[in-house]
Amino acid sequence: MNKQELEKIKQKALEDHIPIIMDDTLEVVAKILQEVKPSRILEIGTAVGYSAICFSEYLQPNGRIDTIERDEERARQARKNIKKVEVEDKIRIYEGDAVEILPTLQESYDVVFIDAAKGKYPFFLSQAIRMSHKGTVIIADNVLYKGYVMGDYNKHKQRTAVRNLREYIAETTNNEYLETEILEVGDGLAISKKK
Ligand code: SAH
Ligand code: MG
């Protein structure tokens, strides 16, 4: 992969205020990917493709990432970026709302990365579990949402997001088939392994 191009993609995304994966979060996810050695990764929330491109380095030969983005302009940019770093044979972009696209997917994934609308996390989780197998790791970014989730904060305009993130944490923690860890890395990272 062309690291110089990747760095340019990252800088442009930061300039454009696109919420790409934070460096410390990426480090943690990269470690998990090195352990799992995935062939199939599902990502919900492509943005401009930065995280998918980073993850593609850890795919097994012939592995593939399916990633979903509902914003047309971002999906277009992601396609361009993926071409630039020459990983277009490893990443498939689904353009549209993940709420509609996920139920149409009938695959089994080794890793799922949830990084989209916070209010939909419980639904994304149910879909991720449906497409999991023993050993699948489901990772969700931004679960602590700037500290709102753990605080007694519920009067904000983002309260629906906060309520759904709390539900996500409760469901992953209480689900007897999942082993879950919540890390304070970045904006909060939930890591759930299917038993
Ligand atoms: N994973 C990316 C960042 C994703 S930012 C990276 O680290 O590089 C979150 C993205 O999710 C945004 O681009 C937003 O348009 C998209 N998104 C939010 N809700 C969505 C939904 N319901 N379906 C598909 N995409 C969604
Ligand atoms: Mg994120």
Instruction: For residue 71, give the ligand 1 atom closest to its CA.
Output: 15
Taking only the tens of pLDDT, the chain with its 195 residues reads: 889 999 999 999 999 999 999 999 999 999 999 999 999 999 999 999 999 999 999 999 999 999 999 999 999 999 999 999 999 999 999 999 999 999 999 999 999 999 999 999 999 999 999 999 999 999 999 999 887 888 776 666 678 899 999 999 999 999 999 999 999 999 999 999 999
CA atoms within 13 A on the CB side of 75: 16
Residue 135 CA to ligand 1 centre (angstroms): 25
Residue 183 CA to ligand 2 centre (angstroms): 14
The dihedral through the CA atoms of 35, 37, 38, 43 has a sign that is positive
- Beta carbon of 50 within 6 Å of any ligand 1 atom: yes
Q: Minimal CA–CA distance to 46: which of 106, 109, 94?
A: 94
Three-state SS for 48? Answer: coil
Alpha carbon distance 15, 82 (integer Å)? 19
Alpha carbon distance 122, 137 (integer Å)? 16
Probe ligand 1: pick from 44, 101, 105, 143, max atoms within 8 Å of CB? 44
